[in-house]
A and B are shown apart, each in its own frame.
Chain A
Amino acid sequence: MNQRAEKMEVIQTLVEYTGRLINGINEAVDSFHEGMEGKGMDLVVQIIDGLKWSMEAISLTLDVQVEPIDISEMIEPFNAMVEALENMDYVLIGDILEYEILPKVEEWNQKLILTIGA
């Protein structure tokens, strides 16, 4: 299998993975809104791990992406998330997930689908 084919396979995996990530983020947002902070925080830990893996995979496959994804957009929300976690501000954690991270992951997912379709 050539390198491009391997990268396309990674992108296929990324499409599925970011789809699951979107569901996980929505679930975490709902948990914070329903006052289930414990469940929300468990999900946040998994979401951060998932985002790290996704960003690495996106970087490695940048040259085959039809619309290249700029992962640096995620730096600011990440920093805001670290501060919110330090303050245990669950409203802000939910906000960052819903209004900063989720739209970006949804955008990544769309761009990755575009690459597969091309």
Chain B
Amino acid sequence: MSSSLYEKNVQEYMKITGKNISLYEKNSNAVLEKTKDDNYTIKINDFNREIYIHSKYSPIKEGERFVQKLSAYNIKTVFIVYGMGLGYHILQLLKYLHKGNSLIIIEPNEGILSKAFSMYDWTPLMHRDKTFIFTGTNAQELKLLLGEFINISNVDNIMLLPFSQYPNIYSVFYEKVIGEIKNYVSLFKISKNTREHFWEQFNKNFFNNLYSIFYQGTINDLKNKFSNIPAFIVSAGPSLDKNIRELQNVKDRGIIFSGGRTLPTLINHNITPHFVVSMDPGIVDPGIVAYNVLKDYGDHTIPLITTVVSNDTVISEHQGDAFYISNSEYRGLVKYFTQRDMDILPLGASVANASLSIAVYLGCNPIIFIGQDLAYTDGKYHADSCSDTTLKQDGEDNDLIEVEGIDGNKVLTNSVWHTFLMWMEKFIYHNSHKTYIDATEGGAKIHGTDIMTLRQAIEKYCLKNEFIQDKINTIIKAKKIGYQDEKLQRLLMNLKVDLEKVHKISSQGFKEAHQLLNKENTDEKDIRRLNLFETQLNDLIKRNEAVADILLRIINDIDTNNEFIEKMNESKEEKCRRLINRNVALHKKIEDTAFNINKLVQSVIDQDIEIIKIFQCSISFV
């Protein structure tokens, strides 16, 4: 134990986290004690009982035992260790980790981490890629940290390893850790399932929306065009009925964003929003619900902000101008067809989440939420003025979560709203240069917002006419594109030809991989042969960014599937088997997808020919 070692750890930790661990040393309830094998253990005084964190006989053996618990994991598994202690088990664990493994160590007791800092040089661990030592019991900080590590590709690949009796000693925080992990798993599983289930619908929407995408504006046309103008994000929470009338006073002194559900309510109150935001791909709930609400008002001319994969019926019925947001999985397709910049924004899981992100992108400040209860205010699901207030989802009653309300009391929410809330708080945290006002006047507390009534917010921030409508009209005028149907036809034909090539390669790849499934003693030669098909696909990926979008998404899905990720210490035979299975799944998926997308491409080509025919027909009549 040396003081220079301690200082080195403390300084490095402070540099990374901003937290000075030495401040916790003085009032620490942890003391070091020599063990029988001449190492150290920690004894803590927990409510007048003395408890050992490590074995007082052989902490090293205890560390070795800890890693014996490791079962099926792979090179991308995220490890979350609850309890750092003096870190004997962490040193053992590191021997088994691949550089691709993320590692979060949670030490609830800062005094214990301080002791660990006096024992060993932890700076290499602090600098290890994808690694973080979290200390303390701040659930909000933990939530944000987990958000940095858990994502859609590893949500099925997380291993929580509680050390020693940490779950008993620090049981309250342990419950929170489990709760937060579950929340993220649920959040990303929703996204993952949405993506998987809706992909076909997304593709259909994209190609059906293609004409509109080609000719309409992009979100970039609006970027920072409304700097420091207040934004009002109107949601359909039960509290909306309390203050919606106040919005009439905003006029052109603030931008009003409406979702589909709130649009009829606003119109009925003689309030015309500046933008309607629609994100739903629209097949099953909640998309279809929002669409049904919107459909009677679908032919409005209010500018629509939407994504390239939003519901094609909403897009085709909408009579006004549109601004498109790209999608990370369609970036290449968008670029291929439009040759224009179209940004991707973080959109979250709800229209309000998306509207928040859009408002920040447009430069708005402050951002004011109304009707954003995210909780059952007065036992209601939505505002009475918005449709289907009595809507109940299956199993809703079993899905209640207690969260902090705006008045500090507890309110009930459900896992879906909680997901929206978490997303919003994370977004606000990462965009803290703006001011956020919760003028809902009810519901769940959104951390990072100031709470005031809508009237107060309007009086404080809506001080002058911003001529918003004029600005929007100018932008719309500037973005108009002339007739370019032939160019679009040519691009569609090229894509069709390349997708036919993809289909042919993957059909053969699938056939050969499938034959290997029944072959005994497969070897690396077989795998090299299979790799040739992927090499051919990679050539097409490099040549055509639209093809790249379609294929890379499939390849990424396959490569984040636990079944196909390299196992730790797998044998050559296991490796061959895994790679053959991967090729079977990969080529099957690519073969089917290329076929299906080509049908969509053909339908757009046919649609274009119809338009040309009508156009020619109308010319001959003239």
Give A residues with C-beta under 8 Å from B. 33-35, 37, 86-92, 94-95, 98-99
Task: Report the bound CA distance from A86 to B58 in whole Å.
Answer: 22
Q: List 12 A-B contacts (CB under 8 A).
A: A33-B62, A33-B65, A35-B162, A86-B49, A89-B49, A90-B168, A91-B53, A92-B52, A94-B55, A95-B52, A95-B55, A95-B56
Contact residues in A for B54 (Cβ distance below 8 Å): 91
Report the minimum CB–CB distance from A29 to chain B (whole Å).
10
Task: Report the bound CA distance from A89 to B41 in whole Å.
Answer: 14
Report the minimum CB–CB distance from A73 to chain B (whole Å).
16
Task: Report the bound CA distance from A48 to B54 in whole Å.
Answer: 24
Which parts of B347-406 form the interface with A (CB within 8 Å)?
none
Q: Mark B31-56, 1 if CB is under 8 A from A, else 0.
A: 00000100000000000011111111
Contact residues in B for A94 (Cβ distance below 8 Å): 55
Assuming the A-B contacts A33-B65, A98-B57, are A90 and B50 also in contact, with contact meaning beta carbons closer than 8 angstroms in the complex?
no
Assuming the A-B contacts A91-B165, A99-B36, are A34 and B69 also in contact, with contact meaning beta carbons closer than 8 angstroms in the complex?
yes
Report the minimum CB–CB distance from B65 to chain A (whole Å).
5
Contact residues in B for A90 (Cβ distance below 8 Å): 165, 168
Report the minimum CB–CB distance from B47 to chain A (whole Å).
10
* Contact of B51 (CB < 8 Å), options: A35, A37, A91: A91
Query: Closest residue to B50 on the A side, CB-wise?
Result: A87
Query: Closest residue to A32 on the B side, CB-wise?
Result: B165
- Taking a contact as CB atoms under 8 Å apart, the answer to whether B65 and A88 are in contact is no
Query: Closest residue to A35 on the B side, CB-wise?
Result: B162
Contact residues in B for A87 (Cβ distance below 8 Å): 49-51
Counting chain B CB atoms within 10 Å of each CB, the highest count among A37, A91, A94 belongs to A91
Task: Report the bound CA distance from A34 to B71 in whole Å.
Answer: 13
Contact residues in A for B57 (Cβ distance below 8 Å): 95, 98-99
Q: Mark B182-200, 1 if CB is under 8 A from A, else 0.
A: 0000000000000000000
Contacts beyond the supplied A35-B167, A91-B53, A91-B54: 20 A-B pairs with Cβ under 8 Å: A33-B65, A35-B165, A37-B165, A37-B168, A87-B49, A87-B50, A88-B49, A89-B49, A89-B51, A89-B165, A90-B165, A91-B51, A91-B52, A91-B55, A92-B51, A95-B55, A95-B56, A95-B57, A98-B57, A99-B58
Query: Closest residue to A30 on the B side, CB-wise?
Result: B65
Task: Report the bound CA distance from A99 to B37 in whole Å.
Answer: 11
Q: Does B164 contact A (CB under 8 A)?
A: yes
Contact residues in A for B51 (Cβ distance below 8 Å): 87-89, 91-92
Report the minimum CB–CB distance from B161 to chain A (whole Å).
10
Give the total number of A-B pairs whose CB atoms are below 8 A apart.
Answer: 42
Report the minimum CB–CB distance from B61 to chain A (whole Å).
9
Task: Report the bound CA distance from A98 to B36 in whole Å.
Answer: 13
Give B residues with C-beta under 8 Å from A. 36, 49-58, 62, 65, 69, 162, 164-165, 167-168
Contact residues in A for B167 (Cβ distance below 8 Å): 35
- A interface, by DSSP: helix, strand, loop or mixed? helix
Contact residues in A for B56 (Cβ distance below 8 Å): 91-92, 95
Assuming the A-B contacts A98-B57, A99-B57, are A89 and B52 also in contact, with contact meaning beta carbons closer than 8 angstroms in the complex?
yes
Task: Report the bound CA distance from A87 to B56 in whole Å.
Answer: 15
Contact residues in A for B53 (Cβ distance below 8 Å): 91
Report the minimum CB–CB distance from B70 to chain A (whole Å).
13
Contact residues in A for B55 (Cβ distance below 8 Å): 91, 94-95
* 8 interchain residue pairs of minimum CB distance: A87-B49, A99-B57, A89-B51, A91-B52, A90-B165, A95-B57, A92-B52, A95-B55
Contact residues in A for B162 (Cβ distance below 8 Å): 35
Task: Report the bound CA distance from A94 to B56 in whole Å.
Answer: 10
Task: Report the bound CA distance from A35 to B53 in whole Å.
Answer: 13
Task: Report the bound CA distance from A91 to B44 in whole Å.
Answer: 12
Query: Closest residue to B163 on the A side, CB-wise?
Result: A35
Task: Report the bound CA distance from A87 to B50 in whole Å.
Answer: 6
Task: Report the bound CA distance from A35 to B89 in whole Å.
Answer: 15
Task: Report the bound CA distance from A37 to B53 in whole Å.
Answer: 15
Report the minimum CB–CB distance from B10 to chain A (whole Å).
27
Contact residues in A for B62 (Cβ distance below 8 Å): 33
Report the minimum CB–CB distance from A80 to chain B (whole Å).
10
Task: Report the bound CA distance from A98 to B61 in whole Å.
Answer: 12
Report the minimum CB–CB distance from B87 to chain A (whole Å).
16
Task: Report the bound CA distance from A35 to B36 in whole Å.
Answer: 23
Contact residues in A for B65 (Cβ distance below 8 Å): 33
Query: Closest residue to A87 on the B side, CB-wise?
Result: B49
Task: Report the bound CA distance from A88 to B171 in whole Å.
Answer: 14
Report the minimum CB–CB distance from B456 to chain A (whole Å).
52
Contact residues in A for B49 (Cβ distance below 8 Å): 86-89
- Taking a contact as CB atoms under 8 Å apart, the answer to whether B36 and A89 are in contact is no
Task: Report the bound CA distance from A87 to B62 in whole Å.
Answer: 20
Query: Closest residue to A86 on the B side, CB-wise?
Result: B49
Report the minimum CB–CB distance from A33 to chain B (whole Å).
5
Report the minimum CB–CB distance from A108 to chain B (whole Å).
20
* Contact of B164 (CB < 8 Å), options: A91, A98, A99: A91
Report the minimum CB–CB distance from B154 to chain A (whole Å).
24
Query: Closest residue to B46 on the A side, CB-wise?
Result: A87
Task: Report the bound CA distance from A112 to B57 in whole Å.
Answer: 27
Query: Closest residue to B48 on the A side, CB-wise?
Result: A87
Task: Report the bound CA distance from A92 to B49 in whole Å.
Answer: 13
Assuming the A-B contacts A35-B167, A37-B168, are A89 and B58 also in contact, with contact meaning beta carbons closer than 8 angstroms in the complex?
no
Task: Report the bound CA distance from A75 to B165 in whole Å.
Answer: 26
Task: Report the bound CA distance from A92 to B53 in whole Å.
Answer: 9
Contact residues in A for B50 (Cβ distance below 8 Å): 87, 89
